[in-house]
């Protein structure tokens, strides 16, 4: 059996799926009478929309450019999808503002509209991500070696500001399987300054449960004494 090819989409899409599901559940649970909780959840929606917009830019600037260089038109369908996502995100941002400013009597129907429209945005993204992970990966694999794909990935990652990267890792690390997590952190350890990598480990410790954290330390051959992390399922 051939070794699996490098999949540039899988880790970030796992993070985005987890982030989307988490946000939609939070919106469904909103207590519209609880102002601080409402504000916190609406910020969560805005955070998701910001990361989705940024993700579109990264895909366009690095992956679509690589595809189009070899196969003009190969990223066109996804580009059109991204344009539709931008329109949906503008509508969702408007709904967030309306909920925020609404009187209690109209807040509840508006929250239901936000919940349903966010769900449709998530549904569209699930279909879109499947297209990218199948059709786009095949196109990328046909014209690039794994080393070339890895170089594209490194360039993409280096373009991401540290704060955005930390937010992404906060959602990505718990969303990956242990083997994916080990592979990603081993790769980062080889490419990052030691101090920056320590920051990643601290973050991993915060977002992973004790079992996954111990498993990660074993895989990386580490024995770190860090303050207690959050209690998570894994
Ligand atoms: Fe995309």
pLDDT at 105: 85
pLDDT digits (tens, 9 = 90+) for 120-164: 999 999 999 999 999 999 999 999 999 999 999 999 999 999 999
pLDDT at 225: 64
Query: Can you point out the beta strands (E) in the chain?
Result: none
What are the residue boundaries of the structural domains of the chain, listed by start? 10-161, 176-234
Centre of ligand 1 to C-alpha 4, Å, is 22
Centre of ligand 1 to C-alpha 32, Å, is 32
pLDDT at 223: 74
Q: Tokens 């930390």: give the residue.
A: 166
pLDDT at 229: 53
Centre of ligand 1 to C-alpha 116, Å, is 21
Centre of ligand 1 to C-alpha 40, Å, is 27
Centre of ligand 1 to C-alpha 195, Å, is 32
> Which one-letter DSSP state was computed for residue 145?
-
pLDDT in tens, the chain (234 residues): 678 999 999 999 999 999 999 999 999 999 888 999 999 999 999 999 999 999 999 999 999 999 999 999 999 999 999 999 999 999 999 999 999 999 988 999 999 999 999 999 999 999 999 999 999 999 999 999 999 999 999 999 999 999 999 999 999 999 999 999 999 999 999 999 999 999 999 999 999 999 999 999 999 998 766 655 555 556
* Long-range contacts of 137-145, Cβ-Cβ distance < 8 Å, separation of 24 or more: 137/5, 137/7, 137/8, 137/9, 139/67, 139/70, 139/71, 139/74, 140/8, 140/63, 140/66, 140/67, 141/5, 143/67, 143/70, 143/71, 144/66
Arch. (CATH architecture) of 10-161: Up-down Bundle (1.20)
pLDDT at 226: 61
HEC string of 3-59 equals: CCCCCCCHHHHHHHHHHHHHHHHHHHHCCCCCHHHHHHHHHHHHHHHHHHHHHHHHH
Centre of ligand 1 to C-alpha 57, Å, is 9
Centre of ligand 1 to C-alpha 109, Å, is 31
Centre of ligand 1 to C-alpha 168, Å, is 16
């Amino acid at each position: 059996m051939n070794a699996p090819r490098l999949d540039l989409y899988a880790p970030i899409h796992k993070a985005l799926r987890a982030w989307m599901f988490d946000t939609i559940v939070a919106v469904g649970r909103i207590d519209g009478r609880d102002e601080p909780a409402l504000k916190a959840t609406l910020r969560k929606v805005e955070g998701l929309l910001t990361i989705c917009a940024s993700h579109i830019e990264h895909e366009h600037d690095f992956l679509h450019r690589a595809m189009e260089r070899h196969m003009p038109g190969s990223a066109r369908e996804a580009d059109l999808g991204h344009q539709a996502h931008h329109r949906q995100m503008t509508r969702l941002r408007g709904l967030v503002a309306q909920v925020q400013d609404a009187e209690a009597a109209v807040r509840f129907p508006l929250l239901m509209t936000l919940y349903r429209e966010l769900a449709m945005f998530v549904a569209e993204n699930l279909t879109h991500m499947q297209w990218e992970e199948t059709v786009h990966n095949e196109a990328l694999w046909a014209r690039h070696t794994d080393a070339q794909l890895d170089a594209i990935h490194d360039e993409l990652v280096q373009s991401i500001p540290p704060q955005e990267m930390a937010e992404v890792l906060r959602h990505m690390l718990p969303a990956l399987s242990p083997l994916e997590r080990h592979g990603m952190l081993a790769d980062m350890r080889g490419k990052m300054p030691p101090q920056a990598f320590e920051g990643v480990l601290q973050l991993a410790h915060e977002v992973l449960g004790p079992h996954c954290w111990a498993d990660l330390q074993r895989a990386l051959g580490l024995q770190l004494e860090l303050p207690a992390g959050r209690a998570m399922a894994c």
